[in-house]
Amino acid sequence: MDRRVKYTKKVIVDTFLNLLEEKDISKITVTEICKIADINRATFYRYYIDIYDLLDKIEEDFRMELMTSNAIEGLDEQESVYTFSKDILSIFEKNKKLVKILFNTNRNIYFLNEVLELAYEKCLEKWSKELGIDTDMEEVEHSIIFIFNGALGIVNYWVKNDFDKDIDEISDIIQKLSLDGARKYLLNRKRS
């Protein structure tokens, strides 16, 4: 991609995100973005259909960054919950402004569904092998759902508190709650 095109798109995105910090998307206009970004409307429409298309493309780029991260790629290997969390949270922290906006909008975090589904499938496969074929798969699924929702709650709290804790600390909390909670439950259930 041409440097000028990259620069222009970055200016549009940055302007849009700055406006989203101040007001609801329904109150933002293409005209306003163009005026602040010092571009003409034709330039905006060369890349985006409207502001909702702009937001969709921003979310898609962020989702692709997550999908191609070491965290997702490493799920096939023996990656720990801590390492997975740290890799994902590092991407979140790098994109603080966007993450805060996405977690605070009505659109919520549906853009994470594909990432979460892939992680869920990998986790299910890994735990099934680790625990053996005589394990009740429904209990494994319940545990994974519990962990994912709990981890998402912790991440949401972290984002809403302006990333107030270190990534290592949040990753450690997620790992300890995951491994000392649901996993221990499953192992105990298997023994009984």
Domain boundaries, the chain: 1-48, 55-191
Please give the pLDDT value at position 85.
Answer: 84
Nearest alpha carbon to residue 171 among 144, 191, 190, 151: 151
What pLDDT is stored for residue 189 in this prediction? Answer: 59
| Whole-prediction pTM | 0.78
Q: What is the pLDDT of residue 65?
A: 87
Rg of the chain on CA atoms, in Å: 20
What is the model's pLDDT at position 110? Answer: 66
Q: What is the mean pLDDT of each run of 10 residues along the chain (192 residues)?
A: 89 95 92 96 96 92 83 63 85 90 68 71 72 70 80 88 93 79 61 58
163: left (phi over 0), alpha (psi -120 to 50) or beta: left
Token pair recorded at residue 104: 């605070």
What is the pLDDT at residue 64?
86
Q: Are 152 and 110 in contact (CB under 8 A)?
A: no
**Amino acid at position 138, single letter:** E
The topology (CATH level 3) of 1-48 is Arc Repressor Mutant, subunit A (1.10.10)
